[in-house]
Structure 1
Amino acid sequence: MMAHRIQRRTFLGSAGAAAAIAAIPFARLQAQAAAELPKIPIPPPISSEERLARIAKARALMQKNGIGAIVVEAGPSLDYFTGVQWWRSERLTAAIIPASGEPIIVTPFFERPSVAESLSIPAEIRTWNEDEEPLKLVADFLKERGVAGQAVGFEETDRFFILDRLKQQLPALNAVSGNPVVRGCRMIKSPAELALMQSANDIMLASLTYAAARTREGMTPAEIDALIAAAQKTLGGSYDDGLILLGEASAYPHGSHKPQLVKRGEVVLMDCTCSVHGYQADITRTYVFGGDPTPEQRKLWDQVHRGQQLAIQTAKPGVPAGAVDDAVRRLYESWGFGPGYRLPGLSHRTGHGIGMEVHEPINLVHGEMTPLAPGMCFSDEPGLYIPGKFGVRLEDCWHMTEAGPKFFTQPPPSIDKPFG
């Protein structure tokens, strides 16, 4: 974990400085970041041995839940179990993992060499040509393994055409949710996964801090985002764009299409993600640019900070995930916000699951009864929003241990030290 400190004077600047930054090619921004940022260690990617252990756990969960096989199409879960990094299109690429024996990968014939490059477990690759039905390959495999008559689990993000066309091949198909298997594996992070997430969080916070120190009056969200991207890529992270909200736009959790410029005395909200070897970080910082916060800005920031602390204090092993959201919402309602998800107040959940995806099950939201358990990872981001004025969001991610929750990054102590 790195220590970060930004002095308020570094926020001061001019429209001319902003224009100068806008004119700098991205390669030069990266070179400047490389010269000024310390290196952050990056752990190795997930090993084949760990993926084989995941397959073994998946098999055990299938047997426990009476599932004969699961179908996992291209996306994070395919990478999670097999290492295959592929995108979704109308052409099926998927893994079929049986409760016993090795899985197979089904993919188009012409994609076989590319798919094989990232496959990191023993698995036969079965291919189909453009005039053939890929779901017949799936059906044939289920028959070979003697599980076509058993329950077949589908990951919750699998697209409808897969189920629909497999039913055409197997009319008696007993399709069930694959959640007990896929969620049962992915929700509990291993030490190797936690190490990658820690690295991603360290890089993300360093990048936000770097960009904030170089933000100038008159800059646009895109110009601030370019500074974040340059820092993050220099440090070894993968960046997919950030959410930079200025002034009134900060009152709307996912922003506004209206033109925005950095102005003295207004809120800057930076909500960005970072990926390291496929594992995500998600951090938000809110500060006031170029001057002392108003009493209203300071009060709202302090209230959000208190809500974030209450969330982490409420999260304990065995506590229902929804209880975290409920505790924060009760506190906010006692101050006159809401009630519930109404505005002004907290209009979104207190946090979301995170891992290979920025948003993944489960969420810290009212009604979620899943008990918190060691290895689960979440964001903690109970913002407050006043439409027409401004909003504040502070977000740090954490993971549950046997002894309780542990932050990947420490929340800032005050609006006067917005990056710690």
Structure 2
Amino acid sequence: MRQLHFHRRTFLAAGAASAALSALTGRAAAAITEQAAPMALPPPITRAERLARIGRAQALMASSGIGAVLIESGPSLDYFTGIQWWRSERLTAVVIPAQGDPIVVTPFFEGPTIREMLAVPAEVRTWQEDEEPLKLVADFLREKGVAGAPIGFEETNRFFIADRLRQALPAANIVSANPAVRALRMIKTPAELALMQAAADITLSAYRTIAPQIREGMTPAEIDRLYVAAVTALGGKTDGGLILLGEAAAYPHGSGKPQHVRKGEVVLLDCGCDVHGYQSDISRTFVFGADPSVEQRKVWDQMRRGMDIAMAAAKVGAPAGSVDDAVRSAYESWGYGPRYKLPGTSHRTGHGIGMEGHEPINLVHGEATPLAPGMCFSNEPGIYLPGKFGIRLEDCFHMTATGPRWFTQPPPSIDQPFG
């Protein structure tokens, strides 16, 4: 094991420099908070839209032979009911029957808060700490006459829910709720697209706000602090993003090694934000404090061309996987890969996005789902050179009847990384 020997005076000088940089970061964050003006935001999803979602889900359930669906806490619960709740060992869930109003099952002591959030007509049925919540679900299914019909489970429901429902209802036939839940969530309405557009606008504006504040020696955490301050001031919500510096940018989700901004090395920002429950996801890569090297410029330009190749391939009716195939074919002709090997692109070209930063479906080889108006995706065919650097640009788009449309325009060149 290599041992490092610190001279006391050198160590103290480094500590003082770090403290000074942290103070500078704090002042910059405070200035951003004071100066950035909140953007005008679209309204949240309305009660009428949520009721329409339930109606469409019930029509899809009926056509698929599903008697009811059960959705626990998470984005899909919010999607249908407006209830924003976390997951714990205590079940909070909505049960939507193929006909009639849904019920919400929640602990007794959470009832008042859940009723405050509930944005659609639904009975709230509560259970005490010594009672089984899945018995309430089983009783409701019997009441609705669908106890013997297939019961749809949202794909992220946890195992204990199915296990304990079968104990309360031994004949329960549990099936995927995707035909009624994911099928709806995959196709965004104009109101959803407006919220996603606002989130994208805030993220890009935050990048433009913080870029001049980035200094040599900064860490990812210090840059992230600036980003959070900017997004908050602009009216969005975020827990921060992914900041990769230098060689760490060669690994799509980073490295555990210490990172600092250095002249001539890349800075990769991969962040998003939330506006009324809808997400953005944008990446920018640039070279700090120096002209890009020949190799940095070449890889940046190739990656940017990859985004255009993806957009040209994203045609209504085309299999989603064909977008990834088109990009990978070009990259292989340029000497990358083959397929997902490095140097090259080790991940899919893009992912679905909406209420979650990553949601089905993906732009990945073998995905046969046809592209349709209302679907939303990231476009991010990054190129990674292990041991050197990586370039990832990322903008999201949505499908229209005439083809894909950007939420934000990708930058024109490495010299103008924010447009």
TM norm structure 1 = 0.94
SS of 1:340's equivalent in the other structure is coil
Distance in 2 (CA, whole Å) between partners of 1:16 and 1:201 is 38
Is residue 194 of structure 2 the alignment partner of residue 220 of structure 1?
A: no
Is residue 50 of structure 2 the alignment partner of residue 51 of structure 1?
A: yes
Q: Which residue number in structure 1 is paired with residue 4 of structure 2?
A: none
Q: Which residue number in structure 2 is paired with residue 234 of structure 1?
A: 233
Q: What letter is aligned with 1:278?
A: G
The equivalences for 1:20-169 within 5 A come to 20=20, 22-23=22-23, 29=28, 31-169=30-168
Distance in 1 (CA, whole Å) between partners of 2:21 and 2:315 is 45
Q: What letter is aligned with 1:66?
A: G
| Cα distance per residue 1:278-335 (max 9 Å; x no partner) | 0000000000000100000000000100001110111011111000000000000001
Distance in 2 (CA, whole Å) between partners of 1:25 and 1:378 is 33
Q: Which residue number in structure 1 is paired with residue 8 of structure 2?
A: none
Q: Which residue number in structure 1 is paired with residue 356 of structure 2?
A: 357
Moved more, 290-299 or 108-117: 108-117
Task: Please tell me whether the aligned partners of residues 37 and 233 of structure 2 are also in contact (alpha carbons under 8 angstroms).
Answer: no
| Cα distance per residue 1:251-293 (max 9 Å; x no partner) | 0000001000000000000000100000000000000000100
For structure 2, the residue ranges without an aligned partner over 5 or more in a row are 1-14
Distance in 2 (CA, whole Å) between partners of 1:387 and 1:332 is 16
Distance in 1 (CA, whole Å) between partners of 2:342 and 2:418 is 27
Distance in 1 (CA, whole Å) between partners of 2:156 and 2:89 is 15
Task: Please tell me whether the aligned partners of residues 314 and 323 of structure 1 are also in contact (alpha carbons under 8 angstroms).
Answer: yes
Q: Which residue number in structure 1 is paired with residue 310 of structure 2?
A: 311
Q: What letter is aligned with 1:280?
A: Q
Task: Please tell me whether the aligned partners of residues 343 and 387 of structure 1 are also in contact (alpha carbons under 8 angstroms).
Answer: yes
Task: Please tell me whether the aligned partners of residues 17 and 216 of structure 1 are also in contact (alpha carbons under 8 angstroms).
Answer: no
Distance in 2 (CA, whole Å) between partners of 1:145 and 1:246 is 57
Query: In 2 relative to 1, CA 17–292 (structure 1 residues): closer, same or farther, beyond 3 Å?
Result: farther
Q: CA deviation at 1:17?
A: 9.2
Distance in 1 (CA, whole Å) between partners of 2:230 and 2:71 is 35
| Pairwise CA RMSD | 1.5
Q: CA deviation at 1:18?
A: 7.6
Distance in 1 (CA, whole Å) between partners of 2:287 and 2:45 is 40
Distance in 2 (CA, whole Å) between partners of 1:300 and 1:368 is 27
Q: What letter is aligned with 1:73?
A: E
Distance in 2 (CA, whole Å) between partners of 1:243 and 1:25 is 17
Q: CA deviation at 1:23?
A: 1.7
Task: Please tell me whether the aligned partners of residues 321 and 371 of structure 1 are also in contact (alpha carbons under 8 angstroms).
Answer: yes
Q: What letter is aligned with 1:88?
A: R
Q: Which residue number in structure 1 is paired with residue 347 of structure 2?
A: 348
SS of 1:296's equivalent in the other structure is helix
Distance in 2 (CA, whole Å) between partners of 1:122 and 1:139 is 20
Query: In 2 relative to 1, CA 294–21 (structure 1 residues): closer, same or farther, beyond 3 Å?
Result: same
Distance in 1 (CA, whole Å) between partners of 2:225 and 2:332 is 38
| Cα distance per residue 1:61-100 (max 9 Å; x no partner) | 0011010000000000000000011000010000000000
Q: CA deviation at 1:240?
A: 1.6
Q: What letter is aligned with 2:383?
A: L
Q: Which residue number in structure 1 is paired with residue 11 of structure 2?
A: none
Distance in 2 (CA, whole Å) between partners of 1:74 and 1:38 is 33
Task: Please tell me whether the aligned partners of residues 325 and 366 of structure 1 are also in contact (alpha carbons under 8 angstroms).
Answer: yes
Is residue 290 of structure 2 the alignment partner of residue 266 of structure 1?
A: no
SS of 1:397's equivalent in the other structure is strand
Distance in 1 (CA, whole Å) between partners of 2:240 and 2:143 is 45
Q: What letter is aligned with 2:208?
A: T
Q: CA deviation at 1:192?
A: 0.6
Q: Which residue number in structure 1 is paired with residue 6 of structure 2?
A: none
Distance in 2 (CA, whole Å) between partners of 1:276 and 1:38 is 16
Q: CA deviation at 1:22?
A: 1.6
| Cα distance per residue 1:131-163 (max 9 Å; x no partner) | 101000000000000000001100000000000
Distance in 1 (CA, whole Å) between partners of 2:243 and 2:144 is 51
Distance in 2 (CA, whole Å) between partners of 1:216 and 1:18 is 12
SS of 1:67's equivalent in the other structure is coil
Distance in 1 (CA, whole Å) between partners of 2:264 and 2:30 is 31
Residue-pair matches, total: 405
Task: Please tell me whether the aligned partners of residues 29 and 230 of structure 1 are also in contact (alpha carbons under 8 angstroms).
Answer: no
Q: CA deviation at 1:37?
A: 3.1
SS of 2:299's equivalent in the other structure is helix
Q: Which residue number in structure 2 is paired with residue 402 of structure 1?
A: 401
Is residue 174 of structure 2 the alignment partner of residue 179 of structure 1?
A: no
| Structure of greater relative contact order (alpha carbons < 8 Å, 6+ residues apart) | 1
Distance in 1 (CA, whole Å) between partners of 2:24 and 2:299 is 36
SS of 1:248's equivalent in the other structure is helix
Distance in 2 (CA, whole Å) between partners of 1:18 and 1:37 is 27
Q: Which residue number in structure 1 is paired with residue 376 of structure 2?
A: 377
Task: Please tell me whether the aligned partners of residues 250 and 390 of structure 1 are also in contact (alpha carbons under 8 angstroms).
Answer: yes
Moved more, 233-242 or 30-39: 30-39
Distance in 2 (CA, whole Å) between partners of 1:30 and 1:179 is 43
Q: CA deviation at 1:24?
A: 5.5
| Cα distance per residue 1:145-200 (max 9 Å; x no partner) | 00000011000000000001101111111111000011111001111100000000
Task: Please tell me whether the aligned partners of residues 18 and 215 of structure 1 are also in contact (alpha carbons under 8 angstroms).
Answer: no
Task: Please tell me whether the aligned partners of residues 247 and 390 of structure 2 are also in contact (alpha carbons under 8 angstroms).
Answer: yes
Distance in 2 (CA, whole Å) between partners of 1:31 and 1:191 is 35
Distance in 1 (CA, whole Å) between partners of 2:18 and 2:192 is 38
